[in-house]
Every structure is written in C-alpha cells, then in structure tokens.
Structure 1
C-alpha cells in the first residue's frame, strides 16, 4: 500500500512533463518556431513607381488573407494620394507558410499559389495600353471589365502564365500590426524556390 502511494505522484509528474513537452500553456506565439498568424486585411502605403518613359505612377496593395487562402488587389494609380485608379490586378489562391527562413531572421518561407489572375483597366488609356501588348489576355480589354490572364499571362504587366508560374515563392514576416513580404525582383519572377527573395521589402502592409 505504501509503495502504491509513493509511485502515484511520480507517475503523475511524468505524465505532466510529457504533456508539457507539447506545450503546457497552449500559446504557440511563445514558440519561436511557430508560424506567424497572417490572417486579416493588410493595406500598403501609396508608393511611387517610376516608369520607363520618365513618368511616375503610384501603387497600393491590399491583401485579404484567411487561414489557408489569400487575395490581393494590386492597384496602379495616377496620383500620389492613390485616389485615381488606372488598373487593378486581382490575384488569389492557396498559400502555406513552410519553414523559418535561413536568410532573414524572424521571417518564414512561404508559397503563394495562383488560382485566379485578372487585370481590369479602370481608364481608357490603360485599356488601350493593355490591348497594345502582345500575348496579354485572350481577347480585347474593356474599361472597367476584369479579364482573366491566368492562362495567357501578361508580360507587360509582370504576370506570367500559370503553367510557367504556378506560385510565388516568397518571404513573410509579421511585426505587430505590420506585415512584410520579400523584396520583389525587377522581373517579378519568384516562380520557383530558387527565385525566392533573400531579403524583405522595406514596405510595410498595415492591418486594417
């Protein structure tokens, strides 16, 4: 009887230690290896984008992210307040945070897949420009109408065909209410793991 009484606390202690090996407090945010929670709506600042002809356009990104899917509106504007839209690129698909980055402390390697890519010219000038690009879309663009470019791509707008580029291989880092992605290359090609950025973009996307 005495032996049983002595063993019971020891068994309970062992069971508790085993449970704690998997996390006693249930708070994964204290585990440095836990993937960040990036679900939410994130909006970037209005940023200048110099063009080859010497003019400047302005860009704003808006992400809508759930636990396993992402949506992006990449909007080009004519003014520095991002009030006058020129064109909207809409992208969506599944995503996965794969593993901590070995290149950037605190960042995670991610794969953002593509199931939808559309371009919608918001003004006639952008409509005409898109229609002048070879291999951009399967038909004529119309102002205010989104056209699917997932199959054809649109090289002049930095969009590759889905067969050649099924996903972006990116970096992600959350810092409080700011979300950072990898620094995109000039050719916008992040279509393989070997093209993944090795540094973060300095541009923050803010939680809305």
Structure 2
C-alpha cells in the first residue's frame, strides 16, 4: 500500500513539474526582450541566402529580413521589414516543445537592393514601383508575395525557445502565405541567437 501511495505521489509530482515547465516556457516566450539574429546567411534555396533580425519588447516585435545571392550578404536582393504585436497561444501538436504563435503585422516595408532587371522581374517586383535602396511602405498595396495588411495582417507561426536561449520559428511555405491557421508550419527553421 505504501508503495502504491509513493508511486502515485511521484506521478502527481512529475505531472505538476511538467505543467510548471510548460507554463514557464510559454511565459518566457511571451516576455521576449532584445534582438535575435541569424549568425550567418542561411541557405534559402535557389542560390539565395537570408538573414533574419527579430526584435522583441513589451509584446511588440519587428523583423528585418535580408535576402542575398551570397552567405556573406554582400550581393543583396531585397530587405523586407515588418512591425506589430504578437501572442503565444497553445502548444504545437506537430513540433515538440514549440508553441503556436500569432504575429500581427501592422506595417510592411520592402527595400530593393538590386538593379538587375531579370532579378527584379523574377521576384515579382516589377509592378511594385520600387526604387533601389529606398524603403517603401507596402502596407496598403502589398508587393510580390507580401499581401497588403488589409488582406493579410496575421502570420500564424511557431515559436520555440531552447535551454540555451536560442529562438526558433516555423519554416515558411514557398508562397509565403501563413495568413490563416491552416497555413501554420509543422517544422522549425534554424535558430536565431540573442545579441
């Protein structure tokens, strides 16, 4: 009888510790503060490399994403920037230790960094009325794969913070559309690290 009571007590303690750990993980994600970056250009396929810079403070977030033809990020194609708020939802059913997150994009901006006509056309920038090295607010108009804020202000993503403080997001689909719950990723990108 004592053994059964001991086993039940240990089981209850284990469940309580696991629940506490989950709530601490969620709280840490809800209270992110600072800037997290890719340590180097990440291979985004088709001969391109991307570098992300996320900044968090008081429930607000921003992203600066740079795409280039080289991992050193010297031959840049464009810079996309967005700002807004975010919330951490429930645990992901598909990715261990990750949470579903909702990122609201209040504003979206793009800066063209190349003047190569084939590249501009290939990325769908021809109709965006962009000027090289000049940031343009595309919140109302959208541009290429980025929809307007009116059409898509929500980004249904994943978030995970590991024991080393590295932050992970969901892998974006090729069409960049994470505007609805059913578009939420089911795997994680390489981590960004706090600087």
- When normalised by structure 1's length, the TM-score is 0.73
Q: CA deviation at 1:102?
A: 2.4
1:97 aligned to which of 82, 88, 99: 88
Q: Which residue of 2 aligns with 1:74?
A: 65
User: Compared with structure 1, are the counterparts of its residues 124 and 195 closer, same or farther at alpha carbon in structure 2 (3 Å cutoff)?
Assistant: same
State whether residues 107 and 137 of structure 2, in contact with CA within 8 Å, keep that contact through their aligned partners in structure 1: yes
Contact 1:136 1:149 in 2 (8 A): no
Q: In structure 2, what is the equivalent of residue 174 of structure 1?
A: 161
**Match in the other structure for 1:207:** 194
Q: Could you tell me which residue of structure 2 aligns to residue 20 of structure 1?
A: none
Correspondence 1:32-181 to 2 at 5 A: 32-34=22-24, 35=26, 36-37=28-29, 38-44=32-38, 45-51=40-46, 56-125=47-116, 129=120, 133=124, 136-137=127-128, 140-155=129-144, 158-175=145-162, 176-181=164-169
Instruction: Name the CA distance, whole Å, in 2 between partners of 1:106 and 1:112.
Output: 19
Gaps of 5+ in 2: 1-18
Asked if residue 196 in structure 1 is aligned to residue 176 in structure 2, the reply is no
User: Could you list the runs of 4 or more consecutive aligned residues of structure 1 that deviate by over 3 angstroms after TM superposition?
Assistant: 130-137
125-134 or 75-84, larger mean C-alpha shift: 125-134
Closer, same or farther in 2 for the Cα pair 1:47/1:75, shift >3 Å? same
| Larger Rg computed on CA atoms | 1
The CA RMSD over aligned residues, in Å, is 2.5
Contact 2:138 2:148 (8 Å CA) reproduced: yes
SS at match of 1:32: helix
Unaligned runs of 5+ in 1: 1-28
Deviation at 1:126, TM superposition (A): 6.9
